[in-house]
Amino acid sequence: MKAQDIYEHFHPEERPFIDRAWEWVVNAGDYHEVKLTDFLDPRQCHILTNLANRHPDAALRLWGGYEAAERRRALIAPDYRDLDTEPMHMKVLSVVSDDTQIAELDHGDYLGAILGLGLKRDKIGDIHVRDDGCHVIVSEDISPFLNLHLRQVHRVSVLTDIIELDQLKAVSSAQEPLNLTVASLRLDGIVSDVFRLSRSKVLLPIRAGRCRVNWKTEDDPSKPLKEGDVVSLKGFGRFKVLELEGVTKKGRYRVKIGKFV
């Protein structure tokens, strides 16, 4: 089988990743090679899992440092290897400060400071923000660089340390609850209500490919959303459809949303 054979199941922009991922799978199954990837988002993990399942002699392990990790590294290897014992080469970057303003920093501040040092997003796993600092799961190979050079986040001076995964203080992403009543479950309608934008203002970014549903680009404004969908609009944030709570007497849908903050 060739990667091209499954293109029809995925978005055109995902083809370069499909090609790379299928090469990893083939090299593992046919040529006994082992590949440890950088951090993948949930959509990429889904694609890679789909491809690995199509090869009888390839095995896959996905791990992001803790059970509920969103971003995970993949280990692709021949199926006779015990992947649970293989090292995944991750560390935790601990960020602290004596400045009380550290409590005001958010996910974007930490990510921006790290990427501002010239690093790629692929080297960074989940980011756990607390009032007293932050734990960032990172690829082991960049941990010394970050420990040496990350000295400021936004306008707050910080100190860093590299610790092991078993010292990670995981934090669940905070969500602001929203209860909406909408005329339909269309993507554009719910996005406009969540971000308080006019319908016309959300149509352009959606059609321009700046919206993702479950980490997959979605350019159809009329796509109906369902429970569990995670939606992001570049520049505005993201939310999750927590629950569809039924229909009102006037035929409108009651929807419970969790807006990530």
How does pLDDT run across 20-67, given as a tens digit for each residue?
999 999 999 999 999 999 999 999 999 999 999 999 999 999 999 999
Quick one: CATH architecture of 175-260? Roll (3.10)
Query: What pLDDT band is residue 175 in, cutting at 50, 70 and 90?
Result: confident
Question: Is residue 142 within 8 Å of residue 39, measured between CB atoms?
Answer: no
Confidence category of residue 1, pLDDT binned at 50, 70, 90: low
**Is 165 strand, coil or helix?**
helix
Q: Within 10 Å of residue 101's Cβ, how many Cβ atoms?
A: 12
Which ranges in the chain are annotated with CATH 3.30.70.330?
A: 90-167
What mean pLDDT, rounded, does the chain reach?
94
65: helix, coil or strand?
A: coil
Angle between helices 187-194 and 199-207 (to 10 degrees): 120
Q: What is the pLDDT of residue 71?
A: 97
Predicted pLDDT at 219? 93
For 121-168, the pLDDT digits (tens) are: 999 999 999 999 999 999 999 999 999 999 999 999 999 999 999 999
Closest CA to 20 of 125, 9, 8, 38: 38
pLDDT over 90, % of the chain: 88
Token output for 4: 């091209």
Instruction: List where CATH 3.30.1370.160 sits in the chain.
Output: 3-85
Instruction: Out of 2.30.30.60, 3.40.462.10, 3.30.70.330, 3.30.1330.10, select the CATH number for domain 90-167.
Output: 3.30.70.330
pLDDT at 210: 93
Question: What pLDDT does residue 3 have?
Answer: 60
Range list for CATH 3.10.290.10 in the chain: 175-260
Residue 188 CA to residue 221 CA, distance in Å, equals 5
Q: At 254, is the pLDDT very low, low, confident or very high (cuts 50, 70, 90)? A: very high
Q: Which pLDDT score is estimated for 122?
A: 97
Q: What number is the average pLDDT over the span 106-111?
A: 90
Would you state the CATH architecture of domain 3-85?
2-Layer Sandwich (3.30)
